[in-house]
Structure 1
Amino acid sequence: MGSYEFHYNEHGPYGAAVRLLADTDPAERVVLDLGCGAASVAEPLRARGATYIGLDVDEESVRNLAARGFESHLVDLTQPGLDELLAKVLDGRELAAVLCLDVLEHVPDPRAVLLQLNAVTERNPAAELVVSIPNVAHLDLARQLLTGHWDLTDSGLLDRTHLRFFTDRTLTELMVSTGWYEAAREDFRLERSDQNQAGHPLFENGATLGMLVRGVRAGADGHGEVNQFVRRYHRGAVRQPAATGAAGPFLSVVLRTQGRRPDSLVDVLCCLGAQTDLDFEVVLVVHDSTAAHAVTGLVDLFEGNLAHRVRVVPCDGGTRSRPANVGLRAATGEYVVFLDDDDFVTANWVENIKAGARSAPGKVIRWWAAEQRRTWHAPGSLAAHTATGPLTPQYATRFDLTRHIRQNETPFHCFSFPRALVELGFEFDEALTVCEDWEFLLRAASWCGVHDTEQMTSVYNKWSDKSSSHAVASDEWTAMRTVVHVALDQQPLLLPPGSVRGLDRALERAELTQHRVAALEAEVAAVRQYLAEVEQVSANAHHALHELRRSTSWRISAPVRVAGRVARKLRGRTR
């Protein structure tokens, strides 16, 4: 772990900037260092054979650089005609690279500077640009904002002289819009920046709060611990940012299929074609690219409101989670919902999801499903499959997160979630062969909360055969369930409002059960003790009787006992 430094350090951002020039081979060519300041990279670049030229608006910096034996010029980057001034400085010499190290954030219009640099390099098309820019989206700044702080400092991420602030996305947009395209990067990472507050629970990754915030930031992109973006660019055509297109549909329906059940797939497409609300798209992911053509043919059978809403996306390899992730990345809707090619929905399915999302924006929307037992028929039969029993309200309970941790009670096509979760790094765990929907739901529900519409708009078909529940061994389900629990145990879990009372009631029931079990165990122990005592008395009596029977007196008195028995019998007869 390094530290934020302005002097040259092989392990710091300036060392990274110099290394990025290795591919350009600056030997015997000019490197222009704009806003050079202390010119920390002057000697390292000269050691690599480059002709280093420093330019700065500060006269003292320019004089000091000249005193060290380097060419230096007084230049204000905000002045008009910068491209012409730099051309004069070059004076026909070949340009290897331009450096803007901790510079662009200090100028009021960095775009104007970059456009003029693009013009300068027209005469030197092989010249490249290296920039080093602080990352305003560092995790520590997010943590500071959560505590209500935006404290300027003399240097670092919130240097009080900074006029512009950049994230990875805005930096890329700026560079592309001025004709600069990334060729290489060696970003400088700091787990603890100058904005870090050691010991604060928000800033410590071992604390639950710190772990939670870090997880949210890490899901969004991989730059949460980047202190400085250090990147090299090559010159290209200026490209204007793409205009924002029309809003996408409300709902993206990701429909997974292997193309092996065309009859049920057609039934599912019929369900979608009958929807009362058509504000949706269908991303039909075929988990076998060889079947994509046949599936496309099935889609083409549908005209009007459905066929033009369907995009067929082929996918190969991986577990059941692979096509789910492919569909997730292809979705453009505000909300996303999943369907498999053997589950049916009612005509108001989309309408119900939208109503739920409008009532509880940002939440996972959930509804109920009826279970239908079905059976497949032999090829050539009048119907490919038929129902074998009545619809039963098997999945008609309100959502409870703690209960779901124990067992999934929500079929895959019974919940929808905001696509914004994808921007936070949500995806399906491709290590799971089953239970991928359950694991995703638990994480999404923890972050978003769940709104139950309490409408029965789905049918969960339980097939007599050819279904995953029959094709997967029970021990595999058990193993994947354990994997899910282990993964969830490695991260903090948010509980929705109302969980405390629910947990309290569950713990109370468990406590009462433990008391009853303890009381019953005590009773059993007492009975066992009593039985042991009776058994001991019985054993003692048997032992005494045995000893008596072996005694001499018992043998001698045997005739008397026989005579007594005979006398008793005679008295009984005479009566």
Structure 2
Amino acid sequence: MITNPFHEYENEFAFDNVYGHSLELLKRNVDRSPPSDTTIHLDVGCGYGSIAEQVSFQLGRTYVGVDANNRSLASLNSRGFETHRFLLTNEEEENADFLRSVIGDRTVGSITLLDTLEHLTNSGAILSALYEIAKTHNSLVVVSVPNMLHRDIGFKLALGRLNYTESGLLDHTHVRMFDEKLLTDTLRHSGLHIIDRKDVRMNHSDQFFPPEHPVLQDATMLRSFFKNIRGKVDDQDLVNQIVVACLPGEKIKKLPFVTERETSRPFLTIVTRTQGNRIHCLTEYFTCLAAQTCRDFEVIIVGHKLSIEQQIAVERIIEDLPIWLREKTRLIRVYKGNRTHPLNVGFENAHGRYIAIQDDDDIPLGNWVEEFEKISKKHDGCLLRCVSVLQTVKTVTIGRRVGIRAISSFQKIFPSSFDFIDHLKQNQSPNNTLAFPRGVFHELNMRFDEELTTTEDWDYILRVAAVVGVGSNPVVTGIYQWFDLTNSKSEHAEHEWRVNHLRIEQKLDTGPLLMPSGSLRRILRLIDERDSLKHGIAAHPSLSFDHDITRQNVREIYAIMNSTSWKVTKPLRMSQRLLGRGAGLKFTDCLNFSSEQLEEAIRQLRNSTSWRLTRTLRRIGQILKGGQQKVS
């Protein structure tokens, strides 16, 4: 409908371009007309009528083209097709009246509006006119528009480059830009509802220039990182042209553009999975939520494969809550998937700015929500982390009532701050210490990996932290209850944990990884420690390859002194030295030890207070790496 002095839109039909895909939608959704039928196909904004011959031959319909370009209409006329010249206006009735005059007493079987909407200042005027025609004749309507969200446009725009061209995705004559959502909403507002689609996908669009731009060069880390993030958001990153088939229906009143930039949300959504087996724990959990110093939260209980009795028990607990808390609580039932699926369901339904996970057997202290809110003011948009203490508990029955009994004191085994590099080795942040920013799930589509049967939380923590970073708060805000597993069997085989770990490592290792500030110093320190160990061993003949036992002992001492257990108990050893209880063992001293001295050093390390106090931490680490998981 637009005359472009720099480009004539004389594009050929091909089965894998917008014309071929439009024809495929027509063939999939309408019947071929018999030879004597007078059913017409109305092509509005037809241009040179690239689909004319195919519609006539494959659908058996009379092709009628409408456009304002005399040259393109002349081409169609010379090929024997009916044409009508008309410049679409901003008035719905004027457009509809003209089209009715073209149709006359004939039946409109199908309509196409290909690569035309983006040229119109008032797309609603022509869509509403087409809606009236389609509703009268029960016609299929096929619409296509260029996709403004092709990654070639987005990648360049993110780095400060925008190129309008003589034609293509950013044709300089375009007055509107569409993506999938805007097109869908615009069509629905006009009463046209999508029933089928066949988009045109291109790895490299016409916007794939200049070739020397690093974000467009396939081998660069920059492009790899952008592709990794963008490719997970949706499936539209490679769509060059959106091609959809619609039928007339109810007009949706909601406007197709944003009218409210801000949505009122609670600060936090708390997602809690339950199988209804720990009703006594769930009661205690809600008691803790009722005592929160900050009430700016909502609760989603995801009941996973609940029986009727379990569902009633959970609903009864919710019904007994204080009114203010009951009004903030929803129960969502899920009957499929593994233990990871309920997390995705809970996150999907979350309204909060942040989303936290609380197991139904954990204890949030009264400051739990408040401390997250405090961190968010300084680290808005980051993954938020506080600290939990661990307490070993067991299930007991007293007077026919089931409850939980603590069988240990509180143990602060988790680090006070989040270290990304340490987390690459093992998870040091229980679920109840974290609050995830809403945007990573709802905007970046970063979901829990449901193919993982264990360690799904560790995987998600690493992926989120690598994109948005972490804001830490050393304040203790929860109790991580660890059930006594003396007589419990593992729910998952050791090889299953190993396979899941390898999958996580593979995912993180397939593309560039963002590291938080300070990581360089950590990496250099680790390299220095490694080099010191290598040089120390090389400088001592007694530690040569011929002395495997001696070498193994040195490695064991190094592993102990470089472990998380040893690091978190450093303040304890410092206080002991201040009290004059020994100078402490240094790793460099061990390089001069005999085999007997090395064995004695290992014995002392393993019998030390630092090592004994962190036995539970190592036990959890072993379980997370390949043993058992938290069960009651």
TM over 0.5: yes
Residue identity matched to 1:24: V
Q: Write the distance in 1 (CA, Å) between the matches of 2:547 and 2:12.
A: 83
Q: Alpha-carbon deviation of 1:468?
A: 9.1
Deviation of 1:413 (Å) = 1.1
Q: List per-residue Cα deviations over 1:139-158 (Å, max 9, x = no partner).
A: 00011112321111111101
Look up the SS of the partner of 1:39 in the other structure. coil
Query: In 2, are the aligned partners of 1:369 and 1:396 still within 8 Å (CA)?
Result: no
Aligned residue pairs, count? 524
CA pair 421-469 structure 1, distance change in 2 beyond 3 A: farther
Are 1:158 and 2:163 an aligned pair?
Answer: no
Equivalent residue number for residue 283 of structure 1: 300
Q: Is the 8 A contact 2:90 2:122 kept in 1?
A: no
2:51 match: 41
Distance between the aligned counterparts of 1:102 and 1:258, measured in 2?
A: 52
Residue-by-residue CA offset, 1:17-71 (whole Å, 9 max, x unaligned) = 0111112225231111111111111111111211101111112222221121111
1:121 counterpart letter in structure 2: A
Q: 1:34 to 1:307 in 2, by over 3 A?
A: same
Contact 2:306/2:333 (<8 A) preserved: yes
Residue 305 of structure 1 aligns to a residue whose secondary structure is helix
Q: What's 1:439 paired with?
A: 459
Given that 2:119 and 2:175 are in contact with CA atoms closer than 8 Å, whether structure 1 keeps it comes out as: yes
Alpha-carbon distance in structure 1 between the residues aligned to 2:48 and 2:488 = 66
| Aligned counterparts, 1:275-314, within 5 A | 275-290=292-307, 291-314=310-333
Residue in 2 that maps onto 1:384? 403
1:55-101 Cα deviation digits (max 9, x unpaired): 11112222221121111111011264010000000011000122111
- The answer to whether the 8 Å contact 1:32/1:97 transfers is yes
Contact 1:8–1:40 at 8 Å: present in 2 too?
yes
**Offset from partner CA, 1:499-543 (integer Å, 9 cap, x none):** 111111111111111111222356657999xxxxxxxxxxxxxxx
Please give the root-mean-square deviation of Cα atoms over the aligned residues, in Å: 2.2
Counterpart among 442, 445, 448 of residue 425 in structure 1: 445
* Aligned residues of 1:134 and 1:228 also touching (Cα < 8 A): yes
Match of 1:554 in 2: none
Deviations 1:132-171 (A, max 9, x none): 1000000000111123211111111011111110011111
Q: Is the 8 A contact 1:396 1:456 kept in 2?
A: no
Q: Distance in 2 between matches of 1:167 and 1:467?
A: 57
CA-CA distance at 1:466 after TM superposition: 9.6
* Larger gyration radius, structure 1 or structure 2: 1
Matched residue, 2:86: 75
Alignment match of 2:31 (pick from 22, 25, 29): 25
Contact 1:221–1:425 (CA<8 Å) still a contact in 2? yes
Alignment pair present for 1:14 and 2:19 = yes
Q: Do 1:364 and 1:418's aligned partners in 2 also have CA atoms closer than 8 Å?
A: yes
Counterpart residue number, 1:399: 418
- Aligned mates of 2:170, 2:32 — CA distance in 1: 33
Say if 1:349 and 1:458, in contact at 8 Å, map to a contact too: yes
Query: In the TM superposition, what is the alpha-carbon distance from 1:340 to its structure 2 partner?
Result: 0.5
Q: For 1:466 and 1:472, locate their aligned partners in 2 and report how far apart those are by CA, in whole Å.
A: 16
* 2:286 corresponds to: 269
- Structure 2 contact 10–47 (Cα < 8 Å) conserved: no
- For 2:400 and 2:246, locate their aligned partners in 1 and report how far apart those are by CA, in whole Å: 65
CA contact (8 A) 1:370 1:396 kept: no
| Structure 1 CA distance for aligned equivalents of residues 10 and 543 of structure 2 | 74
Distance 1:492 1:441 in 2: 17
Which stretch shows the higher mean deviation, 320-329 or 370-379? 370-379
What is aligned with 1:532?
none
2:338 corresponds to: 319
Question: Which residue identity is paired with 1:287?
Answer: H
3-state SS of 2:301 partner? strand
Query: Residues 121 and 476 of structure 1: is their aligned pair in 2 closer, same or farther, counting only changes over 3 Å?
Result: closer
Amino acid at match of 2:528: E
- Equivalent AA in structure 2 for residue 165 of structure 1: M
In the TM superposition, what is the alpha-carbon distance from 1:299 to its structure 2 partner? Answer: 1.4
Look up the SS of the partner of 2:482 in the other structure: strand
Task: State the shift of 1:478 in Å.
Answer: 3.3
How far the C-alpha of 1:449 sits from its partner, in A, is: 0.4
Q: 1:462 to 1:34 in 2, by over 3 A?
A: same
| Length-normalised TM-score, structure 1 | 0.87
Match for 2:378 among 346, 353, 359? 359
Give the AA of the match of 1:59.
Answer: N
Rate the CA distance shift 1:147–1:163 in 2: closer, same or farther, 3 A. same
Closer, same or farther in 2 for the Cα pair 1:524/1:501, shift >3 Å? closer
2:45–2:66 Cα contact (<8 Å) kept = yes
Which residue does the alignment assign to 1:518?
538
Amino acid at match of 1:42: A
Residues 445, 527 of structure 1: CA spacing in aligned structure 2 closer, same or farther, 3 A cutoff? closer
Judged with a 3 Å threshold, the aligned counterparts in structure 2 of structure 1 residues 120 and 297 are, in CA distance, closer, same or farther, namely same
What is aligned with 2:103?
A: 90
1:230 correspondence with 2:250: no
Are residue 497 (structure 1) and residue 523 (structure 2) matched?
A: no
Distance 2:140 2:488 in 1: 55
Cα pair 1:204 1:211 within 8 Å, conserved:
no
Indicate which of 196, 218, 243 corresponds to 1:184: 196
Pick the aligned partner of 2:271 from 248, 254, 275.
Answer: 254
- Structure 2 unpaired stretches of 5+: 1-8, 549-632
Compared with structure 1, are the counterparts of its residues 527 and 226 closer, same or farther at alpha carbon in structure 2 (3 Å cutoff)? Answer: closer
Secondary structure at the aligned position of 2:418 is classed as coil
Unpaired runs of 5+ residues, structure 1, are: 529-575
Amino acid at match of 1:298: I
Aligned-pair CA distance for 1:469: 9.0
Change in 2 beyond 3 A, CA 1:404/1:521: farther
Distance in structure 2 (CA, Å) of the matches to 1:466 and 1:326: 33
| Residue matched to 2:435 | 416
The Cα shift of 1:294 comes to: 2.0
Structure-2 separation of matches of 1:292 and 1:75 = 63
Work out the CA distance in 1 between the residues paired with 2:107 and 2:334: 49
Deviation at 1:250, TM superposition (A): 1.2
Cα distance between partner residues in 2 of 1:469 and 1:280: 36
- 1:209 lines up with 2:222 in the alignment: yes
The one-letter code matched in structure 1 to 2:53 is: E
Provide, for residues 408-461 of structure 1, a one-character-per-residue CA deviation record: whole Å limited to 9, x for no partner: 110011111111111211111111121111000000000000000111001111
Amino acid at match of 2:337: G
Q: How far did 1:292 drift?
A: 2.3
* Matched-pair contact (CA < 8 Å) for 1:287–1:323: yes
Question: How far is the alpha carbon of 1:467 from its aligned partner?
Answer: 11
